[in-house]
Each structure stands twice: as C-alpha cells, then as structure tokens.
Amino acid sequence: MKKIAVIWILLLPLLGFSQKQFVVFFDFNKDFPNPSSILELNQWIANHRNIEITKLQGFCDSIDTKDYNRKLAERRIESVRELLEKSGLKFSQVLEKVAFGKEFKQSKVQAENRKVTIFYTEAAPVVPENELIKKIKESKVGETIKLPNLYFFNNSARIVPKSETTLYDLLCALEENPNIKIEIQGHICCQTVEDRNDVSTARARAIYNYLLRNKIDRKRMKFKGYGVSRPIHRIPERTEAEADENRRVEILIIEK
C-alpha cells in the first residue's frame, strides 16, 4: 500500500500540470471585470477557441466580512462564466466553481486579490484525415487508386525523395487496415510500342519492396507492370502534364 501511495503522490503534479490558468481582475466591490481586464479577456478568448473550461475560482480582498466577500466572489464567478459562455467557449460537464471570502493567502496588494482564476485544458488540435489513407480505408474491392505525387527518376525505378511522404501514407493505410490485399500496378508514358526496359514492373516492384521492408506481409501484396497498355491520355502525350499522369503507380484493391 505504501508503494502505491508514493506513486500516486508522485503522479499528482503531473496530472495537474496539463491544466492552465488565466486571471481576470475586478475593481473594489465590483462584480464585473475592470476595463483593462475585459480587453485582455477578449484577446485571450480570441486566441483560445479550442479549450475546455474546467474550474472557476473567485476571490475578494480582505475588506468587509467573510460572508459578504464570499457572495461577491460568487457573483464575480458568475459574471465571468456568462462572458465565457457568450463567447462560445466549451465548459466541462462537471465545471467546478469555488468562491473564497477571506480564507486564502492574500497578496499585500489588495487589487491582486480581487479576481477570478479560469482553469482550462487545451484540446488536441483536430488533424484532418490524410486523403490517401481515407481513400484506401473507404475503398471497395476492385477499385483502383492512384498514388498521388509519386515520382521516379527518368527511365528508372528510383523514387525521388519528395515522394517518400506518399510511400509512408500507403504504409500507414495498410497498417491501419490489415485485411486489405493489393496489386501494385506500374505504368509508363511516352513509348508508343512497348516498355523496352520493363520500367513499369521495376517501379511497381520498388513500391512492393518498400512495403515489404516495413513489415507488410508479402501475402497481402503482388505487383505487375502494365507498360503503356493502360494510358490515361493518348500516346504520344500532348503535354508534360499528360505524360506525368500516364507515368504512374496505382494500387488495385483485391481483398478487404
């Protein structure tokens, strides 16, 4: 039991560390924030749209009685809560509100005791789902998906460095969807007769080998080169953009 208690004590600072604070100040005997605090609060709200308010603590100076000060602190909490609510900020379902009359460590500067402290947590930013990963996840058997921004050095199977992001996205998609099986299909451009050096197969094999090196089961993959037999645009291409679109690697979903 002692060991568990020690671990819990050590964890307490870590648990509380994620909570952040913002302080709003009030003039003497007022329950609405003073003008300078209102300006700072508005700026803070504008910069903290993605947060959750967890606790509001209200404080008063040492003047007047403890009961009067506690009620004033409660009104200060409520005025701040209303401002936050009107601004559209999110509140915890178990929002904690604590009002102090005089029973807290007072600053010698009385103005610093007339305040409401806002405790909040910042939500993790919402990261939009990667488009390729989303396409593969939502794909159907028989669907063909082009691997975007996947480029090779001229007439070779060497992948240019800027295409590594696409390879990583494909790897992530297969890791997240372990039942998917694919055929990796290579295509080339520009040649009107045949794939003389079988570059399309070599490029498909390069993708296959990358996935294999990164622990994707070989039973989930096969590869094939299609040369110029399936162009998107008529060969010879009229523009470099058309050539780029013909010079591609796709994956065919063969099982999910």
- What is the CATH number for 61? 3.30.1330.60
The span from the CA of 144 to the CA of 181, in Å, is: 12
pLDDT tens for 162-208 read: 889 999 999 999 999 999 999 999 998 887 777 678 889 999 999 99
Report which of residues 99 and 1 the model is more confident about.
99
Q: Is the pTM of this model over 0.85?
A: no
Q: How many domains does the chain have?
A: 2
Residue 242 and residue 139 share a domain: yes
Mean pLDDT of 108-133: 87
Residue 144 and residue 65 share a domain: no
pLDDT at residue 197, as a whole number: 80
Residue 105 and residue 166 share a domain: no
Q: Is the pLDDT assigned to residue 55 strictly greater than 50?
A: yes
Domain of residue 25: give its range: 17-122
Q: 45-59, 61-75, 165-179, 236-250: lowest mean pLDDT where? A: 236-250
Residue 237 and residue 160 share a domain: yes
Confidence of residue 228 (pLDDT cuts 50, 70, 90): confident
Confidence of residue 63 (pLDDT cuts 50, 70, 90): confident
Residue 244 and residue 165 share a domain: yes
Confidence of residue 15 (pLDDT cuts 50, 70, 90): very low
Residue 136 and residue 103 share a domain: no
Residue 236 and residue 145 share a domain: yes
**Mean pLDDT score across all residues of the chain:** 88
Look at residues 81, 97, 122 and tell me which one is the last residue of a structural domain.
122
Look at residues 122, 156, 176 and tell me which one is the last residue of a structural domain.
122
Residue 66 and residue 35 share a domain: yes
Residue 221 and residue 138 share a domain: yes
Report which of residues 248 and 5 the model is more confident about.
248
Look at residues 81, 105, 122 and tell me which one is the last residue of a structural domain.
122
pLDDT at residue 8, as a whole number: 39
